[in-house]
Structure 1
Amino acid sequence: MNKENTNPLPQIDELDEKILRLITKNARIPFLEVARECGVSGAAIHQRVQRLLNLGVVSGSEFIVNPSKLGYNTCAYMGLFLEKAKFHASVVEALSKIPEIVECHYTTGSYAIFVKIQTKTNNDLKRIIDEEMQDIEGIARTETFISLEMEFKRQVPIK
């Protein structure tokens, strides 16, 4: 049996869904405004959000930095082929030390690992590939894709 299927999904009702739609659109929305939109008390919203946090349905809130406003104008995705599967953990550990790698996924398919890299220039990306990634034991080869433009990004639908 798959481990993911052993834990039952938390029970989410229509009020929880409405709260999630509101707070995922604007993490800074005051609970009283959420309460007005939902037709319940502020205390009820506070309790519901705390329950959703405790269940792990949501995890905190964050400010999203616009990379291009800080000069990070190159966004690339890279698929990594490993020499052997046993190198997975040590490669991920080494990748975590490269600050420009902002996401790292263990994947199925052609690549063992897929990463997202934000750099200021294409030359910075080339330096990371040539100087930092070449020395990581266990990487057989890489395939890099530069993103020309992000068309959209969104949360999973709340249904």
Structure 2
Amino acid sequence: MLDAISLKILEILQKKARTPNIDVARQVKMAPSAVLERIRKMERQGIIKGYEVRLNPEQFNRCQIAFVRVLTRSVGDQPLTGERLAAIPEVMEVHFVDGEDCYLVKIRVADTAELATVIREKIANIDEVVATKTSTVLNTYKETTRFPIHSSAT
């Protein structure tokens, strides 16, 4: 169970993972060494899974986002199919979902031509895939990996 200080540390790091330890310590009113120990403990426990740099997709010609709903023959091979979808470099997220389709896949590519290639040559070539339905994104208003941290959730 995380206490209020650890939750505050996580909130700070979620906003900016590169916040210097001394600044985090000031904000939670603790010694930097104690904050560093808490962070290391949360890393060991798997609470903090890692740190990532968020790149600007425009700088890499990766502005087109699409969500592809993937229908498969059966759910028996679900982990293997999910892993195959996840191995495609253009795929950002893979979710096994309920309902008509089996997977919801987020893809980021340069344009619709590249999107068509990914769907046709990579996704459709997975043995279990029966059909796909694609929605291309016209505008993005929010895209983040952050989520609210509430003390009641721990």
TM-score (norm 2): 0.88
1:115 Cα deviation from its structure 2 partner: 0.7
1:132 Cα deviation from its structure 2 partner: 2.6
Per the alignment, in what secondary structure is the counterpart of residue 76 of structure 2? helix
What amino acid sits opposite 2:98 in the alignment? T
1:113 Cα deviation from its structure 2 partner: 1.2
% same residue: 26
Q: Indicate conservation of the 8 Å contact 2:124/2:130, yes or no.
A: no
Structure 1: which 5+ runs fail to align? Answer: 1-10
Per the alignment, in what secondary structure is the counterpart of residue 85 of structure 1? coil
Structure 2: which 5+ runs fail to align? Answer: none
| Alpha-carbon distance between aligned partners in 1 of 2:122 and 2:51, rounded to the nearest angstrom | 32
Give the direction of change, closer, same or farther, for the CA distance of 1:81–1:53 in structure 2 (3 Å limit): same
Greater shift after overlay, 114-123 or 54-63? Answer: 54-63
The answer to whether residue 21 in structure 2 is matched with residue 19 in structure 1 is no
1:60 Cα deviation from its structure 2 partner: 2.1
1:157 aligns with one of 133, 148, 152: 148
2:102 aligns with one of 112, 136, 142: 112
What amino acid sits opposite 2:81 in the alignment? V
| Alpha-carbon distance between aligned partners in 1 of 2:84 and 2:49, rounded to the nearest angstrom | 26
Give the direction of change, closer, same or farther, for the CA distance of 1:116–1:53 in structure 2 (3 Å limit): same
TM-score (norm 1): 0.86
Partner residue of 2:69?
79
| Alpha-carbon distance between aligned partners in 1 of 2:40 and 2:115, rounded to the nearest angstrom | 41
The answer to whether residue 81 in structure 2 is matched with residue 91 in structure 1 is yes
How many residue pairs are counted as aligned between the two chains?
149
| Alpha-carbon distance between aligned partners in 1 of 2:126 and 2:42, rounded to the nearest angstrom | 40
| Alpha-carbon distance between aligned partners in 2 of 1:38 and 1:89, rounded to the nearest angstrom | 41
Partner residue of 2:48?
58
Partner residue of 1:36?
26
Q: Indicate conservation of the 8 Å contact 2:86/2:93, yes or no.
A: no
What amino acid sits opposite 2:94 in the alignment? C
1:91 Cα deviation from its structure 2 partner: 2.6
| Alpha-carbon distance between aligned partners in 2 of 1:114 and 1:95, rounded to the nearest angstrom | 10
1:140 aligns with one of 108, 130, 137: 130
CA RMSD of aligned residues (A): 1.5
| Alpha-carbon distance between aligned partners in 2 of 1:19 and 1:96, rounded to the nearest angstrom | 31
Per the alignment, in what secondary structure is the counterpart of residue 40 of structure 2? helix
| Alpha-carbon distance between aligned partners in 2 of 1:90 and 1:17, rounded to the nearest angstrom | 35
Give the direction of change, closer, same or farther, for the CA distance of 1:127–1:57 in structure 2 (3 Å limit): same
Moved over 6 A (4+): none
1:93 Cα deviation from its structure 2 partner: 3.9
